[in-house]
Amino acid sequence: MTSSAARSAGRRRRPRALPAVASLYGLLLLAGCAGNMPSALNPGGTGAARVAGLWWLLFWISVAVFVEVMALLIWALVFRRGNARVRHGQPLRFVTIAGAGLPFVILVAVYGVGLRDLAALGEAPGPDAPAVEVTGHKWWWEVRYPGASGATANEIHIPVGERVRVRLRTDDVLHSFWVPQLMPKTDLIAGETRETWLHAERAGSYRGQCAEYCGNQHAHMAFLVVAQPRADFDTWLARLNAPARSPETDTERRGQQALVQGTCAACHAVRGTTARGRVGPDLSNVGSRWSIGAGAVPNDAGHLGGWIANSQTVKPGNAMPPQPVDAAQLPDLIAYLRSLE
């Protein structure tokens, strides 16, 4: 093939690749604009608002620098033609001001804003602020409140408009506690108790995630922060101190019996029953939780049954082995667990 023929073939092939590249780029842009994904650029509290403000400041500075560089490049390519001479000393002054002086001023200003925000984010809540204790496990979050006898898992309730102190520990490997819409990341280090705080300006649910790779189910170590009015929070916290809901139907009573007499009670607790295990999550309000397995699957009857029978098919590597639950007892056990709210 001659060189001219090769160039012609190349020109014919290129246009067919361009639509595919453009489509891929468009899909990536659409993926980044998903409205239901937690984003630090959609803050729901004062902590994330500071992070978002700093991000936008850096973004617009970058845009201004890009526009300036492109304008100078166009000016050099289009308007600087011929044998035009530059006066002696002019390039040095331009480089000194635009290439050194202006960036120095911008960097110092950004550094000052960053220090201001860092100090604000590190400021601890007052001694009377509500508190919550969160422990990271492979791969779920244990949530306890000081003074409350019960616990929950993968779900943190906080009152709207109040700064809540969060004490963080890990029971095994390194984890990282991150609620993008409320607060930056805080690493959990073995043997240490770390602290952060949460503040939500509006009621709603904010998804959080472990942000430190901690094993093969790291992606399925999510949690939910539920911000609610103070009265609703107090009601929810009072239920955390009370015994779990008593079974009301024969099906639920048989399900409760299957739980306390079976292997479930060895690892899980249900307040008000003889099930007092501490290895796995407390199940006293499992029926109202947003997911099963820390975000692995939705919390419905079908997924719950699959999790009980063999959670390894749902979340391989987790600490719960397949359960020897009789097929006749499984519907009763599912009904009882879903009644626990």
Spell out the residues 6+ positions from residue 71 whose beta carbon is closer than 8 angstroms to its own.
none
Q: Where is the domain boundary, 213, 241, 269? A: 241
Instruction: Judge if 235 and 265 occupy the same domain.
Output: no
Instruction: Judge if 154 and 98 occupy the same domain.
Output: no
Query: What's the rounded Cα separation, in Å, for the pair 328 and 330?
Result: 6
Within-domain flag for 136:
yes
pLDDT at position 72: 81
Instruction: Judge if 136 and 232 occupy the same domain.
Output: yes
Contact 315, 264 (CB under 8 A): no
**Inter-axis angle of helices 301-310 and 330-339, to 10 degrees?**
120
CA 86 to chain centroid? 55
Sequence-separated contacts (24+) of 225-228 with Cβ below 8 Å: 225/156, 225/157, 225/158, 225/179, 225/182, 225/198, 225/200, 226/155, 226/156, 226/157, 226/158, 227/44, 227/158, 227/159, 227/160, 227/200, 227/202, 227/203, 228/157, 228/158, 228/159, 228/160, 228/203
Spell out the residues 6+ positions from residue 153 whose beta carbon is closer than 8 angstroms to its own.
140, 141, 142, 143, 281, 282, 289, 294
Query: What's the rounded Cα separation, in Å, for the pair 46 and 187?
Result: 20
Instruction: Judge if 214 and 300 occupy the same domain.
Output: no
Instruction: Judge if 155 and 205 occupy the same domain.
Output: yes
Instruction: Judge if 107 and 162 occupy the same domain.
Output: no
239 class by beta-carbon count within 10 Å (0-12 exposed, 13-18 middle, 19+ buried): middle
pLDDT at position 6: 47
Closest by alpha carbon to 196, among 234, 225, 237?
Answer: 225
Instruction: Judge if 213 and 310 occupy the same domain.
Output: no
Query: What's the rounded Cα separation, in Å, for the pair 243 and 240?
Result: 8
Within-domain flag for 170:
yes
pLDDT at position 256: 95
Q: Where is the domain boundary, 211, 241, 271? A: 241
The count of structural domains within the chain is: 3
Within-domain flag for 16:
no
pLDDT at position 229: 97
Spell out the residues 6+ positions from residue 121 whose beta carbon is closer than 8 angstroms to its own.
47, 50, 183, 184
Question: Containing domain of residue 156, as a range?
Answer: 131-241
Within-domain flag for 272:
yes
What's the pTM?
A: 0.81
Amino acid at 23: S
Q: Which tokens hold the place of 42? A: 């959609």
Query: What's the rounded Cα separation, in Å, for the pair 8 and 92?
Result: 47
Within-domain flag for 22:
no
Instruction: Judge if 334 and 265 occupy the same domain.
Output: yes
Instruction: Judge if 331 and 260 occupy the same domain.
Output: yes
Instruction: Judge if 207 and 309 occupy the same domain.
Output: no
Within-domain flag for 298:
yes
Task: Compute mean pLDDT per 10 residues along the chain, 341 residues long, and list them.
Answer: 49 48 49 63 93 94 90 79 58 72 88 91 89 96 92 96 96 95 95 95 95 94 96 94 93 95 93 93 94 95 94 94 90 95 88
Instruction: Judge if 156 and 177 occupy the same domain.
Output: yes
Within-domain flag for 183:
yes
Query: What's the rounded Cα separation, in Å, for the pair 161 and 203?
Result: 9
CATH of the domain at 295: 2.60.40.420
Q: Where is the domain boundary, 208, 241, 274? A: 241
Amino acid at 294: A
Instruction: Judge if 237 and 257 occupy the same domain.
Output: no
Q: Is 136 helix (H, G, I), strand (E, B) or coil?
A: strand
Map tokens 């024969």 to a residue: 250
